Structure 1
Amino acid sequence: MDILGWTTSIGHLALLLTAAFIAGALNAVAGGGSFLTLPALVFTGVPPVVANATGTVALLPGYMAGAWGFREDMQPPPGLSMRAVVVLSLIGGSAGAALLLFTPDATFRKVVPWLLLAATALFAFGPQLRQWAGKAGHGTPSALKAGAGMLAVAAYGGYFNGGLGILLLALFGLLGQTQLNAMNGMKNLVSALLTAIAVAIYAAGGIVLWPQALVMMVAATLGGYGGARVARQLPAPVLRWGIVATGLVMAGLFFLKG
């Protein structure tokens, strides 16, 4: 089968479409969709770094659709204005994407599972950490600390999209945001912003396979919107522990892959 000059089999096409659809839905709910798109692309013969960039491009419309699906609930976390969130997302995403272009594959693979594991732990114990911080007299984080945290996570997202949702949810929880639908709305908005600027840098660096990316975009968009609307109906405890389970599974799989 030839699609936009890209020759592929029906099986490979079905794999990429399925992975993109599920990844779009997963990103709208908990993050981690890149763990599906990356191995799917690699399985079809795409080099890992190019697969990471191409899969990120494919998920951009899904992030946008997911943010629209949570539009009624969206609000910035304590310590940050909406304008600050937008600016920091774009700056961090740019820095991370630029760093990816110069990072060896071996380093790239080693650091990801540790970041996923740490983010999942932060999200799981976020309420207890906030309670402890309040008793210790720290209160709401300052704008400087909140901004530094947002910038660091945005840079990670531009560097490697896998687990970005887990990291963002962990950050929002530590900043004092407690309403999960609001957290998910901001997660998708930040993901869309930093991914958009990262995609521009990936494209300038010539590491995007556009035929695969465009085909997967359609499935990811449908999955992103559908996942967001379903997540709004889930009880908060179910959604929270589903996110934790997703993070643990992703981290374990990355460790197994070395």
Structure 2
Amino acid sequence: MDWLLIALAGLLGGMLNAVAGGGSFITLFALVFVGVPPLMANATGTAALLPGYLASAWRFRKEIKYPANLNLKTLCLITIVGGCLGAAILLSTSEQVFAYLVPWLILLATLAFIAGPWLLKKRLANASLTRVSTVKPQTAMIALCIVCIYGGYFNGGLGIILLATFGLLGQTQLHGMNGLKNLLSALLTTIAVVIYAWGGLIDTQHLLLLAFMAIIGGYLGATLAYRIPHTLLRGLIILIGLLMTIGFFIREA
């Protein structure tokens, strides 16, 4: 039963990460449910979803566009720096502190996803019609670096927060945002996983099955994203985020 749950979590996690984010909520919950400590569950789920990020990024490769006049080289540098800092902070965090923070981090990611479109509409309503993007590159770099530090520390909800950030930076095309989100997530996750492995936080017992199913889920999710209404996708991610928040709050009570 445990292996079936892990396989299903990998498949669904890869699919959700491909279309909007939030897959780490499911892998984290499944690993904790089968007895993996939260700190190790976070690191293992992050490692397992890496192949799914790569598969879905490849599927969306033709849609990718960069925000705030930033280029790919700059975005990769920001991702590397932020990912290293976040992963290093995780290694110095105790199991008890991390377990306490998990539901709050999931709630933060879900609220960011809910608020993202509303904040974007409000900003665009106040902007000039001839200047859709009013965010300076320096501001975008700082915002993305903070998000990448978060992602290096806690992969749960990373895709959701990246999508919300891209929206606030002026992007509106969801498939293009998904492609960039998966590309940066793959780079960020690679860096974080190397540091996690060095710190002994990867649970190899469940890693391979999760990763294999995440690859399948990542490609299937990217394909289905072209056929599923965006409002339905958003509603599904918000529902999962809220349910996972409630579940972890109950667990820590």
Q: What is the TM-score normalised by the length of structure 2? A: 0.88
- The equivalent position to 1:174 in structure 2, one of 164, 168, 192, is 168
Residue 134 of structure 2: aligned partner: 140
User: Counterpart of 1:157 in structure 2: which amino acid?
Assistant: G
4+ residue runs of structure 1 moved beyond 4 angstroms?
134-139
CA offset at residue 183 of structure 1? 1.1
Cα shift at 1:164: 0.8
126, 138, 150: which one pairs with 2:116? 126
Alignment partner of 1:191 out of 185, 188, 208: 185
Q: 1:33 to 1:155 in 2, by over 3 A?
A: same
**What SS does the aligned partner of 1:162 have?**
coil
2:149 aligned with 1:152:
no
User: Which stretch has the larger CA shift, 161-170 or 101-110?
Assistant: 101-110
Deviation at 1:141, TM superposition (A): 1.2
Whole-Å Cα distance in 1 between the matches of residues 103 and 205 of structure 2? 29
Q: Is the 8 A contact 1:79 1:146 kept in 2?
A: no
> Of the candidates 71, 86, 95, which is equivalent to residue 96 of structure 1?
86
SS at 2:93's partner residue?
coil
> Is contact 1:79-1:141 (8 Å) kept?
no
* Mean Cα deviation higher: 210-219 or 240-249: 240-249
Structure 2 residue identity aligned to 1:14: L
What is the CA-CA distance between 1:214 and the residue it aligns to? Answer: 1.7
- Higher alpha-carbon deviation: 205-214 or 95-104: 205-214
Are residues 243 and 52 of structure 1, via their aligned partners in 2, closer, same or farther at CA, if it must alter by over 3 Å? closer
**Partners of 1:15 and 1:40 within 8 A in 2:** yes
1:92 CA drift (Å): 0.9
Structure 1 residues 129 and 204: alpha-carbon distance in aligned structure 2, compared to 1, 3 A threshold: same
Quote the Cα distance in structure 2 between the aligned partners of 1:135 and 1:219.
42
- List gaps (5 residues or longer) in structure 1: 1-10
Identity among equivalent positions (%) equals 50
Q: Which amino acid aligns with 2:98?
A: F
- Deviations 1:147-185, CA, capped at 9 Å, x for gaps: 111111111111111111111111011111101111111
Output the amino acid matched with 1:181. H
Q: Which amino acid aligns with 1:104?
A: S
State the TM-score, normalized to the length of structure 1: 0.87
Give the counterpart of 1:207 among 201, 209, 228.
201
- Give me the CA root mean square deviation: 2.1
Q: How many angstroms apart in 2 are the aligned matches of 1:16 and 1:87? A: 33
Q: Secondary structure at the match of 2:237?
A: helix
**Quick check: 239-248 or 52-61, which moved more?**
239-248
Q: Choose which of 41, 45, 63 in structure 1 pairs with 2:31.
A: 41
**Secondary structure at 2:134's aligned position in 1?**
coil
- Cα offset, 1:210, TM superposition: 2.3
SS at match of 2:63: coil
Give the superposition deviation at 1:135: 5.3
Cα distance in 2 for residues equivalent to 1:47 and 1:62: 23
The answer to whether structure 1 residue 16 and structure 2 residue 6 are counterparts is yes
CA contact (8 A) 1:166 1:247 kept: no
Q: Provide the C-alpha distance between the structure 2 equivalents of 1:245 and 1:235, rounded to a whole number of angstroms.
A: 16
Residue in structure 2 matched with residue 68 of structure 1 by the alignment? 58
Instruction: Give me the whole-angstrom Cα distance separating, in 1, the residues matched to 2:162 and 2:203.
Output: 27
- 1:58 paired residue number: 48
Aligned pairs, how many? Answer: 248
CA distance in 2, matches of 1:45, 1:61: 24
Runs (5+) with no aligned partner, structure 2: none
Distance 1:126-1:31 versus aligned 2 partners, 3 A rule:
closer
Give the AA of the match of 2:74: A
